[in-house]
Structure 1
């Protein structure tokens, strides 16, 4: 029997009785690059923190998370710890808060090698230097014994990637890995992720609100809103003809750098408070396509004629892309 590398089914998360994830269903195949997009507060990071058992104890988690058919949600702690960093590694948003400021970089990487691969001493040092070279840290041998504050922001992100690769993971989860980096460094990190996936064959989940970055890394995209997936499909499907009004709104809000200056079309309002969700579609109060049924009935994520999955009663017509959307597609 063949399994997806990671399969998440009906994943729900609640904090203090308030549900923030409402039955997430998604899968990641071996070697695949999956993008997870949406505004802040839509549940992108929480989905994977829950999958890895990294949420605080007050979080109530239900559903199923399987890696090659083996359940993680009910797995004992020791089994879960072997998966974290070993089978699945995660790069967090802020490397400066993820790296230990009082431990030298070389030791942090060799500790990961010892924990996940059982190697130590000079063998671990040599492998750590190889990883630093792989992620593009210049003069790695000299900088092996430096502290995190002696590296730039972009280099700290590369260090986090090196630590994530130490366990030779099957899946790398990159949570906003280009946040707070300038455009040149962002491009370098994206190129590095593509290169590493090609060289190692690992799958990648790229969590971001930057649609341009997603277009450069991913093959398939899930759009999340208010703790649910509202549209899911290939990069070509979603980026050339988005059908959900929320997906289309994300593209309409992208500024175009070439051509005539035009006013941006922002999505009105904000992501709703999880405590104030109604029985209808969560996006309905912000949606220009809303119909009467949207206010009291929630659309299911159904398969469309082109194979994508969509949760909407009145989807956007498959018309020509907007100028901003065309710009993103040209950059992809």
Structure 2
């Protein structure tokens, strides 16, 4: 999948400012940043799922097929089949008045043409695959009769019904306790290995991202500000915003130290600063940062960065920033 100069506006206010991104077959990409930075909007725009008042420009190509502002027929050939999405909050994404079996078999009928006993058998197989206990008995239950973690597993089963090449998981572990979060992450990792599908993992949880992703994009105010392999980003974040995200991770053992928060708030899309959007909150900002928008540049090492004054020193809390160390504390 290729995104080029993807821009989104709501009622004339631009909230996504030219996203360029590639997803390779079988790859796991993490997308991180504060709420409102454009993570979910990027993929809702790519799949044509934004409301009518949204204006989307740019290019979204899936295996050469242009998706941006494509007709409904072209989109339906891709959505759910080649690309599936797990939305935030499964309790609101599942239809409360339809039995779970009906919702899964409906996806199987649309994307794979399965009906009747064949659809039921495949739905039960998917429920077993994602770890729903006693699937045959629970096939005809309603969503409210499942726990939050089980509803998330059912959303994954529905997404897998179309045998997608790319799965977009939007905050799939939000509002789940730590044990269930770990189970969902293990499930996604196992499904990637078994099916070979690519994964886009949208989250604000850096520990979860380190466990499941190979490459990470950091977004701020509708732009990608840094992109690198997960190990490089965690060992040496170069953008001050990325560094700020790591500094705000609490240490759950050892001496108690005061967290270092990022000062200020995310800017209003209607009133973005003239230069770098992060400059009013950045401890390294200089005069050029307040008047010149930094370009997203690819370095010799392949990582991308949009910053006039990148952080050069390695992080002082290197143990806490190490992916394995974060997982231990999480």
Q: TM-score under structure 1 normalisation?
A: 0.97
Matched residue, 2:81: 86
Could you tell me which residue of structure 1 aligns to residue 283 of structure 2? 288
The aligned counterpart of 2:196 is 201
Measured in 2, the distance between the counterparts of 1:81 and 1:92 equals 17
Which residue number in structure 2 is paired with residue 110 of structure 1?
105
Structure 1 residue 153 and structure 2 residue 145: aligned?
Answer: no
RMSD between aligned residues:
1.1
The alpha-carbon distance between structure 1 residues 321 and 206, as it changes in their structure 2 partners (threshold 3 A), is farther
Deviation at 1:236, TM superposition (A): 1.0
Aligned match of 1:3: none
Maintained 8 Å contact 2:218/2:242: yes
Structure 1 position 258, deviation (Å): 1.6
Q: Do the aligned partners of 2:235 and 2:322 also contact (CA within 8 Å) in 1? A: no
Q: 2:320, 2:326 within 8 Å by CA — same for their partners in 1?
A: no
Which of 160, 163, 170 matches 1:165? 160
Q: Say yes or no: does 1:57 pair with 2:90.
A: no
Deviations 1:92-140 (A, max 9, x none): 1110110000000001000000000011000000000000000000000
Question: Where does 1:16-55 land on structure 2 (aligned, <5 Å)?
Answer: 16-55=11-50
Q: How many aligned positions are there?
A: 327
Q: Is 1:259 matched up with 2:234?
A: no
Match of 2:241 among 240, 243, 246: 246
Query: Tell me, what secondary structure is at the counterpart of 2:55?
Result: strand
Q: How big is the shift at 1:82?
A: 1.7
Q: Which runs of 5+ in 1 are unaligned?
A: 1-5
CA distance in structure 1 between the partners assigned to 2:87 and 2:248 by the alignment: 26
Task: Quote how far apart the aligned CAs of 1:321 are.
Answer: 4.8
* Residues 1:143 and 2:138 aligned together: yes
> Is contact 1:16-1:58 (8 Å) kept?
yes
Contact 2:29/2:199 (8 A) holds in 1: yes
Q: Is the 8 A contact 2:235 2:314 kept in 1?
A: no
Q: Is the 8 A contact 2:124 2:135 kept in 1?
A: yes
Shift of 1:20: 0.1
Q: Which runs of 4+ in 1 moved over 2 A?
A: 323-332
Matches within 5 A, 1:205-216: 205-216=200-211
Q: Which runs of no fewer than 5 residues in structure 2 stay unpaired?
A: none
Alpha-carbon distance, 1:318 to partner: 3.8
